[in-house]
Amino acid sequence: MSANAFVVNTSGAEDELAAENVALRAQLELYGRDINKTVRSLGGAIERLEIAHHQALLSLAKAAEFKDGDTGEHIVRIGVLSEHLGRLLGLDATFCEMLRYAAPMHDVGKIGIPDSILKKPGKLSEQEWDEMKRHPEYGARILSGSGVALFDLAAEIALHHHEKFDGSGYPRGLRGTEIPISGRVVALIDFFDALTMKRCYRDALSDDEALSMIKEGAGSHFDPELVNLLIANADDFIALREQINRGDVAVGNTSA
């Protein structure tokens, strides 16, 4: 028998395998295009959802603003300046951007406070003050339960922005780093901004007066590390505040 009889002809199998490879590559390319299309579609949907979340929070902030009589610029300043302080502290960039949108919700719980207390021109009675001090918990209840990270952060801020570094704040009397960093940041920024804006019951304080009071509160009212950052960069905060007052910076503009 010839030795050639034992040679197996594989050319047909190789051609079949090559054809399968071509078909597989084509299928993978098709899958790739479908995946890219799906990702682009999801990306657009996620972006629209994030915008809707931002708008919902801003609407809530405006509702609280009408109730409390604060200006629109105040809620923008709280968000933008809180983001700026967070970035100076070296916090995660995504977290800082979320601060910009969540911080304006700090007083949303005042929606639940009667006007007779909220807008009372004189000193509050002990009972009235006890009711006023419930607004952080009201705010947390309004904002909690959605499962959306931005709303959860806003609820955290609402609950903790009146806590003090030495434990003398409310509603829970937390001390030091027991207070979430979001609450510590917003507590300081809200205090600074509130002092330097005109209220129905007092004139605005000067920047120097406000910064002096903040310095005195380091370690008692405020996180001393945050106070040092604010004092060291006071000119930047003041300049950014004035940009907002002129309308050059909006809460949705992340370029500041």
Measured between alpha carbons, how far is 61 from 77 in angstroms, rounded to an integer?
12
Measured between alpha carbons, how far is 243 from 256 in angstroms, rounded to an integer?
10
Count the Cβ atoms, other than its own, within 10 Å of residue 184.
24
Domain ranges, ordered by start, for the chain = 56-245
Closest CA to 67 of 126, 109, 100: 109
Cα-based distances in Å from 75 to 64, 82, 112, 190: 10, 11, 18, 9
Give the model's pLDDT for residue 71. Answer: 52
- Residues 137-184: pLDDT tens digits? 999 998 888 788 888 999 999 999 999 999 999 999 999 999 999 999
Measured between alpha carbons, how far is 88 from 86 in angstroms, rounded to an integer?
5
Please give, one letter per residue, the 3-state secondary structure of 132-159: HCCHHHHHHHHHCCCCCHHHHHHHHHHH
Measured between alpha carbons, how far is 46 from 212 in angstroms, rounded to an integer?
44
Measured between alpha carbons, how far is 220 from 213 in angstroms, rounded to an integer?
12
Report, as residue numbers or ranges, the catalytic residues: 110
The structural architecture, per CATH, of the domain 56-245 is: Orthogonal Bundle (1.10)
Greatest alpha-carbon span in the chain: 118
- Residues 200-256: pLDDT tens digits? 556 778 999 999 999 999 999 999 999 999 999 999 999 999 998 887 766 554 344
- Residues 10-68: pLDDT tens digits? 455 566 656 665 665 665 555 555 545 544 544 454 455 565 656 666 666 666 665 55
Q: What is the mean pLDDT of residues 57-81?
A: 70
Give the model's pLDDT for residue 7. Answer: 47
Measured between alpha carbons, how far is 127 from 88 in angstroms, rounded to an integer?
40
